[in-house]
Amino acid sequence: MPTDMPTDMPAGTPTAASIAALDRTPLIERLGRWADSYPDDRAYTYMDYTTDIDGVAVDMTWAELDRRARAVAAALRAVTDPGQRVAILAPQNLDYIVGFLGCMYARLIAVPLFSPDLPGHADRLLAVYGDAEPECVLTTTPALPHVEAFFDQNTVPRPKQILTVDTVDTSLRWEAEPVAPDDLAYLQYTSGSTRVPAGVMVTHGNFAVNAEQCWGTFDGIPRVSSGVNWLPLFHDMGLVTAVALPLAYASPAVLMDPVAFIMRPIRWLELLSKQDHAFTCAPNFAYEYLSTKVTDEEKAALDLSGVQVFMNGAETIREGTLTRYLDAYRDNGLRAEVQVPAYGLAEATVYVASSSRYEAPTATAFDRDALNRGVAEPCDRAAERATVLVGCGTPYGQHLAIVDPASRVRLPDGHVGEIWVHGPNVTAGYWNRPADTAETFGASLAGTRGDLPERPWLRTGDLGVWYDGQLYVTGRIKDLVIIDGRNHYPQDIEYTAYHADEGVRREYVAAFAVDGTTDGTGDGAEGDAGEGTERLVVVAERNRRVPIKRLDVAAVTAAVRAAVKHHHDAHLHDFVLIEPGGLPRTSSGKISRTACRRAYLDGALPVTVTGA
């Protein structure tokens, strides 16, 4: 690896002065300000689709939000002390936001979670609750039976108090106490895609600064720009965009439950069509979903010309998805430049970098073999060994460096390394994990740094490269598959697998390595690596659109094996076709390769049986 770096910084990297200018004032102070200055302005609208397929709008003004949050603060402080944790076990609605802001007023540490009846997340809730050890729980009257059952059926300690936010006496008064930027605001538990969920300690200053960084990227208009979100409020991107952004600039927001989006995706676009100046965000799969699940009849009434930002982040961003989404809604006013690819992570509150909303996204074809060697070499996108990456723009209000993780030396542009981040949005570490905190949040740069600080740097665990003034994210260090000394990015192998045969469900594939010493469930295909080396495994959900009676598992397996060998020159130790919905996922909806690998080794995957 190179040991010297040019002193010039990548294009778009902020100066120390611009970072220092960011406002770390706790956002909870602004809530009282908006309640005094704009008491009757609409703060939030929740679209309730449980009783009406077209939705019922429930509005809340700044004055009402402030009054109810203060009442919750008073009720909480009657039973617990500042600095204690409060778990929010509630469905996604306005009561959730009231409870969260009530914790902020009371100087308590919120733990944003979900109602225990959320399907598929029971084990995660148990693990997170046990780690956070909250003294109190906030929920709602409809969710209370599920919360009570959670404590009756599990061994976790019962809290001092379970408060239902919707029944808190709003006549209770609370005089705001001083809140410092470095005080902890909440614990954001990681999705667990590569490790056991850890509680990221987000301060009030982190929360405020990251809202400003997002706002600067969105180029929003205070009291005018509207956020429209369906992302879970217990997810980092959902919490910052749905709560922090409106609070920072007194801008209205519209919320809906994630299930309402999944059941009828057009709802999200219908809400956006009603806004004159709107921004929103979602993972790549949501845009892919909208490209195929909305009929021409449903699209007819849409007008997306008022949407300024469709941010795309939280998972691998596909050029094909951007193209399909634009083609699907171009006639409805969608512009190419409002598709904004972004990069972020919970350890940096959420937002780190993105493209500009005034320029169309950039996608570049790189030679796959060169990337695997750690060098970005552009090539013709029609080349056999080409892989196309979507640029994630530049950071806003923070430093970003591409670093050799072994030597800790900053790498030249065009070289793949670990993404390191330094800025006021970098959080305080992991709850009760001092060793992990020191390793992840306390890194120091070595060698020539230019204008960059020596420390502390956040080691993201993600791999990326600066090329032509943009950040390209190439993968995660822990997900790299290393076979015979060669690196392979799992997302490339997954892409190859779900394009190999129509029997594989698009995007629902996990590629990972198992140790050569394990028995596994492989069939010992010719060319398998020997003992002590890693072996490549691909697990894929079957495509439910292919009738099970005509599904030929052997033919699908052969097609995937041949495609992986041809495109990656890698032998596939095992291919497993499983039932739709069988791939383990994180709380944010991403496929968890770690959990999939564990289920594979345990023989716990729902393998497709055709009866042949």
pLDDT of residue 506: 86
Question: In the predicted model, what is the mean pLDDT of residues 371-400?
Answer: 92
Flag whether pLDDT at 66 surpasses 90.
yes
Q: Are residues 35 and 51 in the same domain?
A: yes
Question: In the predicted model, what is the mean pLDDT of residues 53-70?
Answer: 96
Residue 237 forms part of a structural domain: yes
Domain encompassing residue 403: 359-478
Q: Are residues 493 and 468 in the same domain?
A: no
Flag whether pLDDT at 589 surpasses 80.
no
pLDDT of residue 567: 85
3-state secondary structure of 327: helix
Flag whether pLDDT at 192 surpasses 60.
no
Question: In the predicted model, what is the mean pLDDT of residues 568-579?
Answer: 91
pLDDT of residue 526: 43
For the chain, percent of residues with pLDDT exceeding 70: 92
Q: Are residues 494 and 382 in the same domain?
A: no
Question: In the predicted model, what is the mean pLDDT of residues 257-265?
Answer: 91
Q: Are residues 461 and 550 in the same domain?
A: no
Task: Write the pLDDT tens digit of every residue in 223-239.
Answer: 999 999 999 999 999 99
**CATH code for the domain in which residue 194 is found:** 3.40.50.12780
Residue 330 forms part of a structural domain: no
**Top-confidence residue, 9 or 125:** 125
Residue 294 binned pLDDT confidence (cut-offs 50, 70, 90): confident
Residue 83 forms part of a structural domain: yes
Q: Are residues 405 and 543 in the same domain?
A: no
Q: In whole numbers, what is the pLDDT of the chain averaged over residues?
A: 89
pLDDT of residue 9: 42
Q: How many CB atoms lie within 10 A of CB 42?
A: 17
pLDDT of residue 119: 81
Question: In the predicted model, what is the mean pLDDT of residues 122-132?
Answer: 90
**CATH code for the domain in which residue 373 is found:** 2.30.38.10
Question: In the predicted model, what is the mean pLDDT of residues 147-171?
Answer: 94
Q: Is 502 exposed, middle or buried (0-12, 13-18, 19+ CB in 10 A)?
A: middle
Task: Write the pLDDT tens digit of every residue in 74-106.
Answer: 999 999 999 999 999 999 999 999 999 999 999
pLDDT of residue 37: 96
Q: Are residues 206 and 193 in the same domain?
A: yes
- Entry field: residues in the chain: 612
Contact criterion met (CB below 8 Å) for 81 and 50: no
Q: Are residues 61 and 177 in the same domain?
A: yes
Structure tokens at 319: 């050029």
**Top-confidence residue, 485 or 496:** 496
Flag whether pLDDT at 6 surpasses 80.
no
pLDDT of residue 533: 64
Q: Are residues 149 and 243 in the same domain?
A: yes
pLDDT of residue 478: 83
Q: Of 515, 580, 586, 571, which Cα lies nearest the Cα of 538? A: 571
Distance separating alpha carbons of residues 363 and 346, to the nearest angstrom: 25
Question: How far lies 369's CA from each of 373, 379, 486, 573, in Å?
Answer: 6, 11, 9, 21
Parallel, antiparallel, or unpaired for β 481-483 and 572-578? Answer: unpaired
pLDDT of residue 196: 66
Residue 244 per-residue DSSP state: I
Name residues whose C-beta falls within 8 Å of residue 204's C-beta, 6 or more positions apart in sequence.
Answer: 24, 26, 27, 28, 104, 179, 180, 181, 182, 183, 184, 185
The total domain count for the chain is 3
Residue 529 forms part of a structural domain: yes
Residue 254 binned pLDDT confidence (cut-offs 50, 70, 90): very high
Flag whether pLDDT at 111 surpasses 70.
yes
Residue 486 binned pLDDT confidence (cut-offs 50, 70, 90): confident
Q: Are residues 98 and 128 in the same domain?
A: yes
Q: How many CB atoms lie within 10 A of CB 507?
A: 18
Residue 570 binned pLDDT confidence (cut-offs 50, 70, 90): confident
Question: In the predicted model, what is the mean pLDDT of residues 120-125?
Answer: 83
At residue 110, φ and ψ (nearest 5 deg) are -75, 145
Flag whether pLDDT at 524 surpasses 60.
no
pLDDT of residue 588: 61
The last residue of one of the domains, among 432, 460, 478, is: 478
pLDDT of residue 184: 98
Flag whether pLDDT at 169 surpasses 90.
yes
Residue 448 forms part of a structural domain: yes
Flag whether pLDDT at 364 surpasses 60.
yes
Residue 502 forms part of a structural domain: yes
Distance separating alpha carbons of residues 584 and 120, to the nearest angstrom: 9
pLDDT of residue 534: 78
pLDDT of residue 178: 95
Task: Write the pLDDT tens digit of every residue in 527-558.
Answer: 444 444 678 999 999 999 899 888 999 999 99
The last residue of one of the domains, among 440, 455, 478, is: 478
pLDDT of residue 124: 85
Question: In the predicted model, what is the mean pLDDT of residues 47-56?
Answer: 91
**CATH code for the domain in which residue 578 is found:** 3.30.300.30
Residue 499 per-residue DSSP state: T
Counting Cα atoms < 13 Å in the Cβ hemisphere of 115 gives 19
Question: In the predicted model, what is the mean pLDDT of residues 2-9?
Answer: 36
Task: Write the pLDDT tens digit of every residue in 19-33.
Answer: 778 899 999 999 999
Distance separating alpha carbons of residues 230 and 236, to the nearest angstrom: 13
pLDDT of residue 532: 46
Flag whether pLDDT at 250 surpasses 60.
yes
Residue 10 binned pLDDT confidence (cut-offs 50, 70, 90): very low
Flag whether pLDDT at 193 surpasses 50.
no
Residue 285 forms part of a structural domain: no
pLDDT of residue 504: 94
pLDDT of residue 194: 44
| The amino acid at 464 | G
pLDDT of residue 195: 54
Q: Of 415, 406, 399, which Cα lies nearest the Cα of 449? A: 399
Q: Of 111, 107, 240, 243, which Cα lies nearest the Cα of 179? A: 107
Contact criterion met (CB below 8 Å) for 439 and 459: yes
pLDDT of residue 587: 62
Distance separating alpha carbons of residues 21 and 26, to the nearest angstrom: 15
The last residue of one of the domains, among 258, 281, 310, is: 258
Residue 6 forms part of a structural domain: no
Strand partners, 164: 139
Flag whether pLDDT at 281 surpasses 60.
yes
The model's pTM is 0.85
pLDDT of residue 57: 94
Q: Are residues 508 and 581 in the same domain?
A: yes
Q: Are residues 564 and 470 in the same domain?
A: no
Q: Are residues 73 and 56 in the same domain?
A: yes
